Amino acid sequence: MSELIYKSAAQLSESLAKKEVSAREVTQAHLDRIAKVDKAVHAFLFVDTEGALAQADQVDAARAKGENLGPLAGVPLALKDILAQEGIPTTCGSKILAGWRPPYSATVVKKLRTAGVVILGKTNMDEFAMGSSTENSAYGTTQNPWDLKRIPGGSGGGSAAALAAFEAPLAIGSDTGGSIRQPAALTGTVGVKPTYGGVSRYGVVAFSSSLDQVGPCARTVLDTALLHEVIAGHDDYDATSINAPTPPVVAAAKRADVKGMKIGVVKELSGDGYESGVSERFEESLEILRSQGATIEMVSCPNFDYGLAAYYLIAPSEASSNLARFDAMRYGLRVGDDGSRSAEEVMSMTRAAGFGREVKRRIILGTYALSAGYYDAYYGSAQKVRTLITQDFAKAFSSVDVLVSPTTPTVAFPIGEKSNDPVAMYLSDVATIPVNLAGVAAMSLPAGLSEGLPVGFQIIAPAMKDDRLYLVGAALERELAAKWGGVLTTKAPKLISAAGA
């Protein structure tokens, strides 16, 4: 049944509904794939073999009884290790949470289980979602299936790599400054950051509460839409959740028509600083959209130039507050508690041992920005810039339906190349960060290859107009698939040879 791993979630859904294959068979095929290749990829931190098969059996039993099941019932999924899942190790890629098994599940996890989605396990990530390469995980680096010597992006590199390596057809990520879209771009997959508040954050380990957003990941636009529809919606447990109907994302993905749409190219998110191959694929995608009847025009968002600086004041400031809860007193790691030390000493020793270098760096940055005498100069000023960026988006969306840009300035870079240069690493997210600052919606989908590596195309839509992402994304995907002859969704060749798959 190895051919099952190469089917899309929509194809698997159809086969399952027709009873051509069982949920157990589909799940076992993906578990076998994980066992075969994940030593090379390291996408997963924990594989719940027994639990996944038990979930699959429940779906098969319900289907045998004739129960009305959702479209993704029996389809496997990889879950980023930032979401709490009852009884399942949840580490957030950090030593400080080693061994923690939550007594509750995130709302997104509950929605997945209710829909019959089979959760295969938890995927690797940069510690507390702080990173752009998945090199900051306390449990080792994830490799990019397109080239095992390169990074898969971050912070959700594990989820993206699991998709690219055909270990799962669906995945969940979280996006604070690009952590869904940037890995999607670098692994040739699709990732969506929904409108802020469109998907519940309850049960998600917080990094930056005003920026964090859970979102769907897959290998096709339609699959991503199907997952989006499952996890979205209002949640009373999340005070920032939007109490409004979920945009019709699946219908938009199936419609896939851009005729008459106005598409704006963000001047500040293209040109200088972007690799030639990335720019070439971007221009080719614009031509495809133009040929399908869309109007393309240049749009200026001048305050985007300050987005990176504003983000790296706001996000660390909120992180320094959120991570204060990891104090060795209630759960997780505890170091030095031999009865001779004070609580403050144990707390200090635990944090020194439990937090990695990047997390410590951001806690220090954030604490400094919030300190007396500096709050207005740094954090306060960054919030003013955030307002200006939001206004830039509002002005742009008054004249165009969506905005577009390359997702990342480069293709995936070699592991270790930027690990000692934080600023160079941070620049990987220059095109994705403005979206989080404004709370609008965005998608990255594969636009082709440069030097044999995937390039991402970013689409940005106004708040609660997420369906526009899928309308444009599916139309572009259809033409790109024809142009590239299916190479964007074929098995990554370097992985196949290295892992013997």
Q: What is the pLDDT of residues 414-427, one digit of tens each?
A: 999 998 888 889 98
**Upper half-sphere CA count for residue 369 (Cβ side, 13 Å):** 25
Rounded to whole angstroms, how far apart are CA atoms 336 and 348? 9
According to the model, what pLDDT value does residue 22 have? 98
Could you please report the per-residue DSSP string of 108-143?
HHHHHHHTT-EEEEEE--SGGG--SSS-S-TT-PPP
For residue 206, name the pLDDT band (cuts at 50, 70, 90).
very high
319 within a domain of the structure (yes/no)? no
The answer to whether 300 is a known catalytic residue is no
DSSP H stretches of helix in 460-499: 467-484, 493-499
* Rg, the chain, Cα only: 21
Higher pLDDT, 107 or 1: 107
Rounded to whole angstroms, how far apart are CA atoms 389 and 404? 16
296 within a domain of the structure (yes/no)? yes
356 within a domain of the structure (yes/no)? no
Domain count, the chain: 1
For residue 438, name the pLDDT band (cuts at 50, 70, 90).
very high
At 434, the amino acid letter reads P
10 within a domain of the structure (yes/no)? yes
Q: In Å, what is the CA distance from 68 to each residue of 114, 148, 392, 422, 499?
A: 12, 42, 45, 50, 40
According to the model, what pLDDT value does residue 68 have? 93
Long-range contacts of 363-367 (CB under 8 A, 24+ apart): 363/316, 363/319, 363/320, 363/323, 364/320, 365/312, 365/313, 365/316, 365/317, 365/320, 366/313, 366/315, 366/316, 366/317, 366/318, 366/319, 366/320, 366/321, 367/320
> Secondary structure of 236-254 in the HEC alphabet?
CCCCCCCCCCCCCHHHHHH
276 within a domain of the structure (yes/no)? yes
127 within a domain of the structure (yes/no)? yes
The answer to whether the beta carbons of residues 387 and 371 sit under 8 Å apart is no
The answer to whether 279 is a known catalytic residue is no
The answer to whether the beta carbons of residues 12 and 226 sit under 8 Å apart is no
Nearest of 312, 469, 322, 460 to residue 386 by alpha carbon: 312
Catalytic hit among 132, 159, 179, 405: 179
351 within a domain of the structure (yes/no)? no
pLDDT at 497 over 70: no
For residue 482, name the pLDDT band (cuts at 50, 70, 90).
confident
What does the pLDDT look like over 207-232, one tens digit per residue? 999 999 999 999 999 999 999 999 99
What does the pLDDT look like over 93-144, one tens digit per residue? 999 999 999 999 999 999 999 999 999 999 999 999 999 999 999 999 999 9
Catalytic hit among 7, 80, 95, 110: 80
| pLDDT mean over 157-170 | 97
CA angle 458, 461, 467 (to 5 degrees): 100
Catalytic hit among 13, 155, 159, 285: 155
Q: Tell me what the pLDDT averaged over the chain comes to.
A: 95
Residue 155 in tokens: 């912070």
For residue 47, the domain's CATH number is: 3.90.1300.10
pLDDT at 495 over 90: no
The answer to whether 80 is a known catalytic residue is yes
84 within a domain of the structure (yes/no)? yes
For residue 2, name the pLDDT band (cuts at 50, 70, 90).
confident
> Model pTM?
0.96
Range of the domain at 150: 2-304+386-499
Residue 237 in tokens: 């447990």
pLDDT at 490 over 90: no
The answer to whether the beta carbons of residues 252 and 224 sit under 8 Å apart is no
Handedness of CA 214, 218, 224, 230 (dihedral sign): negative
